[in-house]
Structure 1
Amino acid sequence: MLSTTKMMLMLMFGSLLLIVACSNDTASEAGSSDENTITVWTMSKALKDFVPQYEEESGVNVDVQVIPWDNAHDKLLTAVASGEGPDVLQIGTTWVAEFAEAGTFLDLTEYLDDYDNLADDNFYESAIGTTKYKEQTIGIPWYVDTRALFYRTDILADVGYPEGPSTWEEMIDASKQLAARGDGQYAIDLPTTDPQFPFILAWEQGWNYKIGNGADNFQSQGFKEAIELHHLFYEEEFSQTGEGKEFFQAFSDGSKPMFISGPWDIGTIKDRAPDIEGNWDVRLMPSAENNKSMMGGAHLSIFHNSEKVDKSLDFINWMADPDTQVKWYKANSELPANLTAWEDPALSDDEMVSTFGEQLKSTQPLPLIPEYERLGQEILTSLEEINRGGADIDQTLEEFQTKAADILDR
């Protein structure tokens, strides 16, 4: 018997197919009919200006079609329903399971040995973990990201942690002192809209999501401890309930001298808060049982019915090359997935960037299930009810587990 989730996917794709069949625009969005041209769908505008290097080297034309992130999900759904897609497509790590389940991708497993840059051991282990789905290889890591702790070195030194807190116990101790500075003074700006963050906290408490266990995963003590830890920061007013100042402003004036974010905010702080240069740094995530963070980023995949597999693989192989990955980082500040690329001085000589490189070694893939994003949003809703609404943790977790069971059809 089909699960409710699979039935919903089939109905959704069937409805889209009817819509597409009535549309006159679909053919123009399919892969190019020119035998020497491959079509690439991406959410990165910068790729258009980057691919001429490959075109010159290979003699192959690359038709880059940029899709806004807000439209990408629906556009991919339409492509799956119609069978009219690109040759190569960018896929975010959190979309892997959903679109793999729908048959979007060509399984690349049999091709990996034929291209120097596609072997699994070229990449971070957890990045490879996000490219595998039901024994298929659905893509090749393009760039990666993760989360680490940004902190004000001067302010944390005042409370005894000049190199930042290395454990959650130290984080709580530092936060007590920071929040005691007076009204409007907090310790840390925790991510409130990032569905990955609750999973990070839970991993660090020793929890893990086991596919097949369904909603039972959320009955573990480690998951509850993560929710309790998250709530502690709001209950004790170490973190502000509500939006408050923009994060870089609060970081600059010291009212929130710590925050957790990704590598892109190195540039944000340098650009938006130049007055604190030399007084801030980035360190690895605080640890409990471990200090695991999430493995994010994007992959390059091949649409399941592309007629230009060889050319598409050659392009992806070029994009995965260490030299290409370094050039992409220099141009766009997106971190290489290829391990060898991290030996380049552009990355290895930058201490903050190197910290993210080190954190990437202690990461974990988010659950590779089609329902991940719905689960993540439900967890955020539950945290909102606990942290802002004063809901009881045990009761809210019980209600969340019921919702999770419905989502997962278990």
Structure 2
Amino acid sequence: MKKKTGLFVAMMVGILFILGACSSDDEQAESKDTIKVWTMSPALEEFVKEYENESGMTVKVQTIPWENAHDKLLTAVASGEGPDVLQIGTTWVAEFAEAGTFLDLTDYIDDYENFSPDNFFKGAIETTQYDGETIGIPWYVDTRLLFYRTDILADVGYPEGPETWEDMIDASRKLTARGDDQYALDMPTTDPQFPFMLAWEQGWNYKIGEGAANFEDPAFKDAIELHHLFFEENFSQLEEGKEFFQAFSDGSKPMFFSGPWDIQTIKDRAPEIDGKWDVHLMPKAENNKSMIGGAHFSVFHNSEKVDQSLEFINWMADPETQVAWYKHNSELPANMSAWEDPALTEDPMVSTFGEQLKSTQPLPLIPEFERMGQELLTTLEQINRGGVDIDKALADYRKEVSSILEE
């Protein structure tokens, strides 16, 4: 009996050893042929099946809600346990690059046909470069345009939309004169990037190294005064008011600034105004620069599958893939060659976004700039709602900026 028991144990050990070896082989095979991708775009999981079929690779996509993504990335950096490939929003580049999140791709650029900086919009490339390193490859881009009711703006003399900020002010006065609860523009109050767009258009630029002194520039004050004018003269509603798309549909707020995603949203939410609205390039002052946003694909700094990750990113950066992604998820290609496709050239609204992308600017790539934006929103609230003098408010803002930069 003891001999049988001993033989049984030996057999089981042998079987477990064989199974363990097979399991180890399977894990090695999976490890070699599998990459992990973190994204905030739920549509990517379905989209990458074509790449899996073409390449034989397995792409494990984990979708992270935008509201959780920042903290999850911080945890990954602290633990060193991240994906192989990660999506990074343009406004997070500086913070996470400084934390050492990304593999420097500089030495790989020439090895992949779709990585050349010449392939992409200048503003998109600028947001992939930090402290002499290339932290990612552009995936998709977005920017802001003026959405406007063509029929209502025609009534005040601007059937093709205002060209300049002087036109915007003139049209706004006429639109507000229509009567009670009639406004001109839904002016953004919660977007920390928008006030800087206004400042760029006035000829202002942030120079890294000059700190709070940047905000002494008269052009920056011009932008704050312009923002305040729309609330001071009731061109824009300070309170929340009607639901956003209802106000655009009924004409009580016939202009707003937004990105390409709202083209389809208006078509879905307000079909009754089909043919009565359009998009226009940003109004011009010294220039008509808009912000450039979007996302890049980066390689996590300690990924053991760099080659596999870069092959995937190269596929995602291909013009044909980027057109397919636009058709799949309505996000605009970062690769300029993709804009030659009829899917984009034959849609006048989308092609206007393509034109605006030639006149864009990224936010300064310093980790503190997002906090500066939030503080600026607080400053604007004090001016527009609290009646604080602009000069005093800007002086206080400069103190806050100094404090942020000294931390």
Alignment-mate amino acid for residue 188 of structure 2: P
Q: Specify the alignment match of 2:25 in structure 1.
A: none
Q: Specify the alignment match of 2:41 in structure 1.
A: 44
Cα displacement (A) at 1:33: 6.7
Match of 1:315 among 312, 315, 335: 312
1:10-409 pair list within 5 angstroms: 34-409=31-406
Q: Deviations along 1:147-169, whole A, 9 cap, x unmatched?
A: 00000111101111001100000
Q: Distance in 1 between matches of 2:304 and 2:145?
A: 41
SS in structure 1 at match of 2:322:
helix
Q: Distance in 2 between matches of 1:99 and 1:382?
A: 27
Q: Distance in 2 between matches of 1:400 and 1:157?
A: 40
Q: Which runs of 4+ in 1 moved over 3 A?
A: none
Q: Distance in 1 between matches of 2:286 and 2:293?
A: 21
SS in structure 2 at match of 1:155:
helix
Q: Distance in 1 between matches of 2:75 and 2:245?
A: 39
Alignment-mate amino acid for residue 317 of structure 1: N
Q: Distance in 2 between matches of 1:289 and 1:408?
A: 29
SS in structure 1 at match of 2:257:
strand
Q: Distance in 2 between matches of 1:382 and 1:87?
A: 40
Q: Distance in 1 between matches of 2:337 and 2:193?
A: 27
Q: Distance in 1 between matches of 2:350 and 2:163?
A: 18
Q: Distance in 2 between matches of 1:78 and 1:348?
A: 42
Alignment-mate amino acid for residue 343 of structure 1: E
Q: Distance in 2 between matches of 1:370 and 1:101?
A: 8
Q: Deviations along 1:245-293, whole A, 9 cap, x unmatched?
A: 1221111101011000111010111111111111100000000000000
Cα displacement (A) at 1:409: 1.2
Instruction: List runs of 5+ in structure 1 lacking aligned partners.
Output: 1-31
Cα displacement (A) at 1:34: 1.3
Q: Deviations along 1:299-337, whole A, 9 cap, x unmatched?
A: 000001111110000000000000100010001000000
Cα displacement (A) at 1:121: 0.5
- Higher CA-based Rg: 2
Q: Distance in 1 between matches of 2:315 and 2:295?
A: 16
Q: Distance in 1 between matches of 2:243 and 2:144?
A: 19
Q: TM-score, normalised by structure 2?
A: 0.92
Alignment-mate amino acid for residue 151 of structure 1: Y
Alignment-mate amino acid for residue 66 of structure 2: W
Cα displacement (A) at 1:400: 0.5
What is the root-mean-square deviation of aligned Cα atoms in Å? 1.2
Q: Specify the alignment match of 1:3 in structure 2.
A: none
Instruction: List runs of 5+ in structure 2 lacking aligned partners.
Output: 1-28
Cα displacement (A) at 1:35: 1.4
